[in-house]
Amino acid sequence: MDTTTKYSRQTILAEIGSEGQEKLVNAKILCIGAGGLGCPALLYLAGAGIGTIGIVDFDKIEISNLQRQILFSVEDEGKSKAVAARERLYALNPDIEIKAYDEELTAENVLSLFSSYDVIIDGTDNFAAKFLINDAALKLGKLVVYGAIQGFDGQVSVFGEKEAPCYRCLHPQEPQSVIMNCAEAGVIGAVAGIIGTIQALETIKLIVGHEDFKPLSGRLWLCDTRTMDSRIITIPKKHDCPACAKAPEEIILQYSSPICTTTTAKEIICSDPLLKQAALIDVRELAEWEQGHIEGAYHLPLSALQINPEIYEPPQDKQCCILYCQKGMRSRKAAEILAQAGFTEIYSLRGGYEAWCQYQAD
């Protein structure tokens, strides 16, 4: 295909031109996460003709992803997100190189994955991954286009430029509260689309580097899409920052998967006969409980257990206790908290309330 025609609508822009297009074609970008943020970002970047695109994601496509993960279709259910994303992007632009990494980003593989790319796009949904991306990028001197969404709020920034603040200047430490990812927290696809699209645009601006472009380095763009109020705040560079105040070789990479951290909790599946002899506790928040819960269950939200696990009272007349949440992540966390507090015979319901509803329907 004639690439001159293909990219003509962007090369006609004075800020891009054939020179800018050449830079895009020679650029190598790595997107961490092919989810709500990664999907729109990847579509626009592949469309713009970024020469080499890497996609890191170890997740499989679920039907509940499709409202925001616009690279995928119903028939992709169960497929690797990284591999399916590559297929879809090749269909859009067969002239570029696309690599799929069907693996979790870890402290062990992050440096080798980042080393052959210029710009990293953070499309992750948890603090642990965001810290790892930040720290590894600082070590290697790579640029990161950061994006995050929570409910109707979204934010974008650029990290990694010399002397600029980093993600840890914004958030020095991982919050101690449980971080819900999009599998559990609510999210509107269009909000993820806005933020992912801005990440794509920031990436293009960084690569093309026209003098009129002012990427969000050192600045955080915030948008409340309920009202569409948006603002930009300057991120102060912390001189005692645990990451960017250090020499790159002194930065120690650490990562514990937000999923792996709760695997010590004992899990049980919906068809297990033990379910009939157990006390059921719903650890979701009040609004979720009020929308529907398993009949006969008690309500004891994770947020309360985190403050004081002693509020849990072991059932007198039941063999054990089964905790459940929406999808089975928060209940694992709750089971772990109770186990650490010395309570026994606690299980977490795999797949949570959604799996239970599905099991009842089958």
Instruction: Give the residues lining the site for Zn ion (CB under 5 A).
Output: 166, 168-169, 241, 243-244
- Contact yes or no for 184/227 (Cβ under 8 A): no
- 168 versus 330: smaller Cβ distance to Zn ion: 168
- 237 versus 293: smaller Cβ distance to Zn ion: 237
Distance in angstroms (rounded) separating the CA atoms of residues 30 and 37: 13
Distance in angstroms (rounded) separating the CA atoms of residues 47 and 198: 15
- 249 versus 317: smaller Cβ distance to Zn ion: 249
- 41 versus 169: smaller Cβ distance to Zn ion: 169
Cβ 238 to Zn ion, closest distance in Å? 5
CA distances from 327 to 36, 70, 156, 188, 279 (A): 18, 22, 28, 18, 19
Cβ 243 to Zn ion, closest distance in Å? 5
- 114 versus 159: smaller Cβ distance to Zn ion: 159
Cβ 130 to Zn ion, closest distance in Å? 13
Which of the following is catalytic: 31, 166, 241, 325? 325
SS3 per residue for the chain: CCHHHHCHHHHCCCCCHHHHHHHHHHCEEEEECCCCCHHHHHHHHHHCCCCEEEEECCCECCHHHCCCCCCCCHHHCCCEHHHHHHHHHHHHCCCCEEEEECCCCCCCCHHHHHHCCCEEEECCCCHHHHHHHHHHHHHHCCEEEEEEEEECEEEEEEECCCCCCCHHHHCCCCCCCCCCCCCCCCECHHHHHHHHHHHHHHHHHHHHCCCCCCCCECEEEEEECCCCEEEEEECCCCCCCCCCCCCHHHCCCCCCCCCHHHCCCCEECCCCHHHHHEEEEECCCHHHHHCCCCCCCEECCHHHHHHCHHHCCCCCCCCEEEEECCCCCHHHHHHHHHHHCCCCCEEEECCHHHHHHHHHHC
Distance in angstroms (rounded) separating the CA atoms of residues 101 and 39: 15
Cβ 359 to Zn ion, closest distance in Å? 47
Say whether 325 is catalytic: yes
31 φ, ψ (degrees, to nearest 5): -105, 120
- 167 versus 353: smaller Cβ distance to Zn ion: 167
Cβ 110 to Zn ion, closest distance in Å? 17
Cβ 114 to Zn ion, closest distance in Å? 18
Which of the following is catalytic: 182, 223, 270, 321? 182
- 192 versus 244: smaller Cβ distance to Zn ion: 244
Cβ 136 to Zn ion, closest distance in Å? 14
Say whether 39 is catalytic: no
Catalytic residue positions? 182, 325
